[in-house]
């Protein structure tokens, strides 16, 4: 594989090119045009090849279909990220997005033909041939363009010549960040700093120290730099303003490097709060429109499930009541959304006198507190069915991290003591089933390792939630119930 790492050039005159490189945006524009033409040419080629089967006088109709499809591809490819930076250097990402866009275009054209009642006028053999052949050629074109872009990137063709003003810890951290990110189109030319009292090194992070502010401005005047990153502490406001005011008179981009603390959150997005940029450290998960979708999913599916299984609920209630004295339902305080406590419903599976509300000991294999019916219900997870009513009341969701009692322990320690980030699972409502459960991390958490694994899966679900993930988990839950593991 070609080396895509940012380059460091020697400080000699012939080591720093005097002409700026070609912007990556120009290459991406060429790829846009090439793929648009590819869609059109493959469609027209299919018309020529299958002309005998299309009928005379239909060239205009098929030509319009090809033009509409090419325009649709251009618009959808843009919106689906086919031309984002990460799709230019990764063939896997590029192919996935191009294929997804092409299939979306096909669905769009089929829908459009149905709505316009024109689908019968277009040859299905021509459409299928174009879809398969055009798709294959599109993937080949994107593969070729990806290797071409990566080759040019390795040669430094797209790289901007960047100088860092400030060779202290902040500048060195910025240089290390650039060096560790292969796909940045940056050539680090060197450090510049006005401090000459030994506080800055002659060479840091394999980037040479080239001089002071006057030297930097001189190189800019010679056309040897495209961008300057000022890496001074944000607290040095007066010095920052002095440096920037002098650099502002030169025709290069001027950027301000993050303060040292900001590197810890380098992956976080920056948004404008009014006119002030602020860094978003954490978003509230499953909020806004997503929260409305999940709430609708919970209510609609729960009502449907209860309407279907109410005879089963009735039979289980009768069996529990006849098996041992005591109430049918067991209510226990559990931690829910935002660490708020709620009453979690379950069919009673233990003898009434052994029910625990505080200092809870989790059920284990061959636990003598469990009734005969309770053992069957636990094995098939049917004791959890009354939690459907917790979903209707808004305390729980169908899918989410399983709710635990505050006094539950793993390896003799409270859950919150084992993992300091344990409370992060309470950012969303708890669920009847969850990602951890369908992945095998259900049942007793008798060791700290089991708790850590369960928490890892819960946090993955929270960070990657989607309606389709919920449906997938619900489908896998059926299999987990029919083939139970670790449930007793």
Residues 144 and 171 in one domain: no
Distance CA 87, CA 95 (A): 8
In-domain check, residue 274: no
Q: Where are the alpha helices (DSSP H) in 419-464?
A: 435-438, 448-463
Long-range contacts of range 436-442, CB-CB < 8 Å, 24 or more positions apart?
436/401, 436/402, 436/461, 437/402, 437/477, 437/480, 438/473, 438/476, 438/477, 438/479, 438/480, 440/485, 440/486, 442/402, 442/480, 442/485, 442/486, 442/487
Identify which has the larger pLDDT, 98 or 422: 98
Instruction: Please count the structural domains in the chain.
Output: 3
User: How many Å apart are CA 445 and CA 360, to the nearest integer?
Assistant: 13
Do 298 and 253 belong together in one domain?
Answer: no
Do the domain assignments include residue 2? no
Domain membership flag for residue 296: yes
Whether 334 and 416 map to the same domain: the answer is: yes
Range of the domain at 180: 160-266
Same-domain check for residues 146 and 164: no
Question: Residue 211 falls within a domain, yes or no?
Answer: yes
Residue at 15 is within a domain: no
Kind and range of the H or E run holding 317: helix 289-323
Judge if 231 and 362 occupy the same domain.
Answer: no
**Quick check: 206 pLDDT over 70?**
yes
Give a yes or no: residue 242 inside a domain. Answer: yes
Beta strands in 86-225 (DSSP E): 160-165, 186-192, 203-204, 207-211
Residue 363: strand, helix, or coil: coil
pLDDT tens per residue, range 293-314: 999 999 999 999 999 999 999 9
CA separation for the pair 371, 436 (Å, rounded): 27
Asked whether residue 231 is domain-assigned, the answer is yes
pTM for the full model?
0.51
Distance, in Å, from the CA atom of 70 to the CA atom of 64, rounded to the nearest integer, reads 10
Is 187 found in the same domain as 144? Answer: no
State which of 222, 251, 266 marks the end of a domain.
266
- Report whether pLDDT(13) > 50: no
Q: Are 137 and 176 in a shared domain? A: no
| Domain final residue, candidates 130, 154, 178 | 154
406/303 same-domain check: yes
Taking only the tens place, the pLDDT of each residue in 401-417 is 888 776 665 555 565 55
Q: Are residues 137 and 178 in the same domain?
A: no
- pLDDT tens-digit profile of 15-48? 555 555 677 888 889 999 999 999 999 999 988 8
**Residues 327 and 434 grouped into a single domain:** yes
Residue with tokens 């040019």: 152
**pLDDT band, residue 143 (cuts 50/70/90):** very high
What is the overall mean pLDDT for the chain? 81
C-alpha distances out from residue 84 to 30, 77, 89, 99, 187, Å? 14, 10, 10, 15, 21
Domain CATH number, residue 213: 3.40.50.720
Percent of the chain scored above 70 by pLDDT? 78
Q: Are residues 164 and 104 in the same domain?
A: no
Is residue 249 located within the same domain as residue 111? Answer: no
Is residue 168 situated within a structural domain?
yes
Of 107, 131, 154, the residue that ends a domain is 154
């Amino acid at each position: 594989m070609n080396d895509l790492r940012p380059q460091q050039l020697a400080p000699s005159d012939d080591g720093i090119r005097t002409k700026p490189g070609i912007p990556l945006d120009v290459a991406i524009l060429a790829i846009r045009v090439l793929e648009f033409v590819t869609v059109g040419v493959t469609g027209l080629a299919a018309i020529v090849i299958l002309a005998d089967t299309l009928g005379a006088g239909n060239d205009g109709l098929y030509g319009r279909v090809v033009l509409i499809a090419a325009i649709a591809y251009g618009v959808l490819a843009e919106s689906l990220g086919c031309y984002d930076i990460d799709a230019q250097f990764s063939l896997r990402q590029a192919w996935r997005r191009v294929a997804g866009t092409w299939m979306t275009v096909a669905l769009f054209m089929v829908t459009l033909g149905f709505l316009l009642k024109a689908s019968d006028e277009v040859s299905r053999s021509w459409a299928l041939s174009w879809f398969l052949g055009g798709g294959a050629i599109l993937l080949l074109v994107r593969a070729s363009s990806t290797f071409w872009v990566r080759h040019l990137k390795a040669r430094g063709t797209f790289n901007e010549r960047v100088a860092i003003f400030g060779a202290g810890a902040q500048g060195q951290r910025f240089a290390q960040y650039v060096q560790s990110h292969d796909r940045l189109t940056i050539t680090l030319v060197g450090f510049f700093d006005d401090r000459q009292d030994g506080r800055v090194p002659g060479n840091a992070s394999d980037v040479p120290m080239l001089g002071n502010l006057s030297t930097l401005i001189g190189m800019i005047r010679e056309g040897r730099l495209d961008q300057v990153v000022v890496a001074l502490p944000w607290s040095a406001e007066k010095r920052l303003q002095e440096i920037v005011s002098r650099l502002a008179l030169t025709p290069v981009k001027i950027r301000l490097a993050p303060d040292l603390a900001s590197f810890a959150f380098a992956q976080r997005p920056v948004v404008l709060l009014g006119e002030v940029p602020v860094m978003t450290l954490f978003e509230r998960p499953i909020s806004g429109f997503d929260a409305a979708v999940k709430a609708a999913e919970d209510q609609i599916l729960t009502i449907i499930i209860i309407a279907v299984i109410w005879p089963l609920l009735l039979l289980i209630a009768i069996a529990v009541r006849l098996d041992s004295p005591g109430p049918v339902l067991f209510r226990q305080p559990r931690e829910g959304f935002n660490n708020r406590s709620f009453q979690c419903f379950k069919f009673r599976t233990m003898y009434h006198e052994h029910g625990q509300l505080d200092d809870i000991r989790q059920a284990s294999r061959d636990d003598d507190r469990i009734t005969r019916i309770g053992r069957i219900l636990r094995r098939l997870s049917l004791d959890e069915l009354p939690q459907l009513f917790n979903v209707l009341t808004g305390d729980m969701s169908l899918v989410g991290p399983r709710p635990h009692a505050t006094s539950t322990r793993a390896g003799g320690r409270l859950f919150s003591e084992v993992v300091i980030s344990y409370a992060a699972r309470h950012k969303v409502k708890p669920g009847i089933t969850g990602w951890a459960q369908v992945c095998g991390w259900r049942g007793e958490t008798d060791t700290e390792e089991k708790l850590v694994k369960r928490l890892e899966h819960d946090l993955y679900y929270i960070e990657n939630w989607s309606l389709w993930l919920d449906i997938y988990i619900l489908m896998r839950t059926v299999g987990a119930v029919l083939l139970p593991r670790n449930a007793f």
